[in-house]
A and B are shown apart, each in its own frame.
Chain A
């Protein structure tokens, strides 16, 4: 009897320990933040913008939601990022919950001053996972980007996230960079970070275009789009790459998945080479006491479009198109690398890391003054393009239009 009572007491006591997480927070107590913007105010403080989901608007039942905006913006200034985020509870009924963060947008002016300091919180705080993308707002403030309503994807943060992934895959002039990679690049002496730029284009009256009316129009007056790549030296923004340079960056760092390239035909007109596979190998070497980089790029693709008169049934034509793709592309690559070396003088390609990998001894000498060495680094590019298929039709019907 005594034994049974003891066991019962112990079990009852155990019950009190099994009530679940100590600090559980239910969905209706969380302000799920999907995107966050960091700007610099005029008096040198951080302006933190959090784009918080309104769960009842996102929830499935169609026509149910009372027509509120799917996301809400909370903004606060603070001398540190953490201070600003906590201050938001002055305005927000729920505590900011950043675990599901998808996009971090950094204002251009802040990026120019250095992004290292504000990023510490984001890598230190336990609630953040490091699987969100980082982008720099170009020409506009980060808060403006976050205020634009979007269609197709109801939550702007998801729109940006998917947008970046799709465009990095299909056009390869943007670069999807996550926090870990950014930090690794910032501290590495052999590679400097690059982030995608994002821009908001707002036409007309801000009060109406930044409201839900924006998504009611077919040609939305306010748009956000990714544009160009931002070049950093350590943690400071020093310039922007144009489209050709951006693509060059993606090819050399092996980020290119697919893109299309226009190539000239011999008798005028253009054909389009659709890249389906791109693989680059970067090797660092020391030749005659000077560092050199050999880049070997293997590209596979199809003929995507023909706007000129060529006979695709002949092997020579295919060879000719391959040659002219190689020539065209190589020219762009060589030119872009040269421009980056001369204009920005920072190693965004990771050439330093390549030398480090092959010749650690030489690297330990070169690394102190790597930016200078990078400037007059000799870069040899080998490009080999293969055409595999020509699409669903053979010769273009253009040949028969007389």
Chain B
């Protein structure tokens, strides 16, 4: 269907960018609101739980390395049920592309360009997202390789220059929160950075060597997790748990604190650039997965003709979906977590279950001894 291929290293880059994604700007605030100064522990726990989730995906791709999750659905559930499950699955990356568009718009309008009309910002972003998807996964992956370097240079810049402002008193007392709180709060992180990466199973068959690719899945999740842990830790250490929780975008405020000799200061643009890089790739991957998914559901020869029309829908949806920012926050906190768990955890588990049942059935059929016994 598509004959593009990416190599293992490029897949690693994409997983890393996807895991960091939106979390870098938004997550420290939510974690600090739930677990106060222990937010950094939550981010460690969250990254740890992430590995278990990837373990589930691992089990799935071990059995069907050549298939996207859409094709697995059809194979395991049969044609019609499979297509219905696939539609449910594909709704996730599609809607989340819009949601990320909203994130991007609300960050830009509340911090950087308040008077620019939202449709203009959305349009600009949507044009480059659609362009990326049209050019194909190879182009996306290669540009990802370039931008990941940029990202880590800027990240190092942020960490080095903000570190003089660290006050260790801010994380004391350590482990004040109860275990329940820590695990409860970590779900949010697991959902945004790991469970949502279920959509990477759409591009998984495009990776050249799948055995190494699954390894990059784990490593990418680890690198992304490490970035999130560092950002959360820095936010808490520099701003304190209380301010971190109060700010909508704590890491942005973190960058404002940089002041080296009254010379290197007001560098919040750095974090904005980091955010643009990661949110762009996350958005492109979501969008690619949904476009490819739709084309596979309807057995189209190629996904390209779908790109522009779907991009228009995503753009319009992002403006129409929520009336105000509070509704969007409620969706983030309540609905989206359950939605992601249903699609990103429940469907793969169901697939595994059906796979196990079918396998046993087949074995039973083939095994002559068992046939004899039955007789």
Q: Which residues of A line the B interface, CB within 8 A?
A: 17, 21-23, 123, 126, 129-131, 180, 183-184, 187-188, 353, 356-360
Which chain B residues border A183 with CB–CB below 8 Å?
243, 246
Contact present for A23 and B172 (CB under 8 Å): no
A183 to B111, CA, bound (A): 20
Which chain B residues border A359 with CB–CB below 8 Å?
173
Asked if B110 is at the interface (CB within 8 A of a chain A CB), the reply is yes
A130 to B117, CA, bound (A): 26
Contact present for B172 and A357 (CB under 8 Å): yes
Top 10 nearest A-B pairs (CB, nearest first) are: A23-B115, A22-B116, A357-B172, A360-B176, A360-B173, A357-B173, A184-B242, A126-B111, A180-B243, A184-B240
Contact present for A358 and B173 (CB under 8 Å): yes
Pick the contact of B116: A23, A129, A353, A357 (CB < 8 A).
A23
Which chain B residues border A358 with CB–CB below 8 Å?
172-173
Asked if B113 is at the interface (CB within 8 A of a chain A CB), the reply is yes
Q: A126-B114, A358-B173 are in contact. Are A22 and B120 (CB under 8 A)?
A: yes
Asked if B124 is at the interface (CB within 8 A of a chain A CB), the reply is yes
Contact present for A129 and B173 (CB under 8 Å): no
A359 to B176, CA, bound (A): 9
List the A residue with the shortest CB-CB distance to B266.
A129
Contact present for A357 and B110 (CB under 8 Å): no
Which chain B residues border A123 with CB–CB below 8 Å?
246
**Among A21, A22, A123, residue most surrounded by chain B Cβ atoms (within 10 Å):** A22
Which chain B residues border A357 with CB–CB below 8 Å?
169, 172-173
Which chain A residues border B169 with CB–CB below 8 Å?
353, 357
A188 to B246, CA, bound (A): 13
Pick the contact of B114: A23, A130, A184 (CB < 8 A).
A23
Residues of B108-126 whose CB lies within 8 A of A? 110-111, 113-117, 120, 124
Which chain A residues border B242 with CB–CB below 8 Å?
184, 187-188
Pick the contact of B173: A180, A188, A356 (CB < 8 A).
A356
Which chain A residues border B176 with CB–CB below 8 Å?
360
Distance from A101 Cβ to chain B, minimum over Cβ atoms (Å): 13
Q: Which residues of B line the A interface, CB within 8 A?
A: 110-111, 113-117, 120, 124, 169, 172-173, 176, 239-240, 242-243, 246, 253, 256-257, 259, 266
Q: Please name 29 pairs of A and B residues whose Cβ atoms are closer than 8 Å in the assembled complex, sorted by A.
A: A17-B124, A21-B113, A21-B116, A22-B113, A22-B116, A22-B120, A23-B113, A23-B116, A123-B246, A126-B110, A126-B111, A126-B114, A129-B256, A130-B253, A130-B256, A131-B257, A131-B259, A180-B239, A183-B246, A184-B242, A184-B243, A188-B242, A353-B169, A356-B173, A358-B172, A358-B173, A359-B173, A360-B173, A360-B176
Which chain B residues border A180 with CB–CB below 8 Å?
239, 243
A183 to B239, CA, bound (A): 11
- A sample of 17 more A-B contacts (CB under 8 A), given A131-B257, A188-B242, is A21-B116, A23-B113, A23-B114, A23-B115, A123-B246, A126-B110, A130-B256, A131-B259, A180-B243, A183-B243, A184-B242, A356-B173, A357-B172, A357-B173, A358-B172, A358-B173, A359-B173
Which chain B residues border A129 with CB–CB below 8 Å?
256, 266
Contact present for B243 and A22 (CB under 8 Å): no
Which chain B residues border A360 with CB–CB below 8 Å?
173, 176
List the A residue with the shortest CB-CB distance to B115.
A23
Pair count A-B, CB < 8 A: 42
Distance from B178 Cβ to chain A, minimum over Cβ atoms (Å): 11
List the A residue with the shortest CB-CB distance to B240.
A184
A131 to B239, CA, bound (A): 13
Distance from B284 Cβ to chain A, minimum over Cβ atoms (Å): 20
A22 to B114, CA, bound (A): 9
List the B residue with the shortest CB-CB distance to A25.
B115
Which chain A residues border B116 with CB–CB below 8 Å?
21-23
A23 to B121, CA, bound (A): 13
A129 to B114, CA, bound (A): 15
A23 to B246, CA, bound (A): 28
A183 to B245, CA, bound (A): 13
Distance from A280 Cβ to chain B, minimum over Cβ atoms (Å): 12
A259 to B26, CA, bound (A): 43
Which chain B residues border A184 with CB–CB below 8 Å?
240, 242-243
Which chain B residues border A22 with CB–CB below 8 Å?
113, 115-117, 120
A126 to B114, CA, bound (A): 8
Distance from B236 Cβ to chain A, minimum over Cβ atoms (Å): 12
Which chain A residues border B266 with CB–CB below 8 Å?
129
A22 to B124, CA, bound (A): 13
A210 to B256, CA, bound (A): 36
Distance from A111 Cβ to chain B, minimum over Cβ atoms (Å): 22
Distance from A11 Cβ to chain B, minimum over Cβ atoms (Å): 14
Which chain A residues border B256 with CB–CB below 8 Å?
129-131
Distance from A235 Cβ to chain B, minimum over Cβ atoms (Å): 15
Distance from A188 Cβ to chain B, minimum over Cβ atoms (Å): 7
Which chain A residues border B114 with CB–CB below 8 Å?
23, 126
Which chain A residues border B124 with CB–CB below 8 Å?
17
Which chain A residues border B253 with CB–CB below 8 Å?
130
Distance from B76 Cβ to chain A, minimum over Cβ atoms (Å): 44
Which chain B residues border A356 with CB–CB below 8 Å?
173
Which chain B residues border A187 with CB–CB below 8 Å?
242
Distance from A379 Cβ to chain B, minimum over Cβ atoms (Å): 18
Distance from A172 Cβ to chain B, minimum over Cβ atoms (Å): 19
Which chain B residues border A126 with CB–CB below 8 Å?
110-111, 114
A360 to B181, CA, bound (A): 16
List the B residue with the shortest CB-CB distance to A183.
B243
A23 to B239, CA, bound (A): 30
A356 to B176, CA, bound (A): 9
Which chain A residues border B240 with CB–CB below 8 Å?
184
Which chain B residues border A353 with CB–CB below 8 Å?
169
Distance from B120 Cβ to chain A, minimum over Cβ atoms (Å): 7
A183 to B257, CA, bound (A): 16
Which chain A residues border B259 with CB–CB below 8 Å?
131
List the A residue with the shortest CB-CB distance to B171.
A357
**Among B173, B253, B266, residue most surrounded by chain A Cβ atoms (within 10 Å):** B173
Which chain A residues border B246 with CB–CB below 8 Å?
123, 183
Distance from B168 Cβ to chain A, minimum over Cβ atoms (Å): 10
Distance from A175 Cβ to chain B, minimum over Cβ atoms (Å): 16
A123 to B110, CA, bound (A): 13
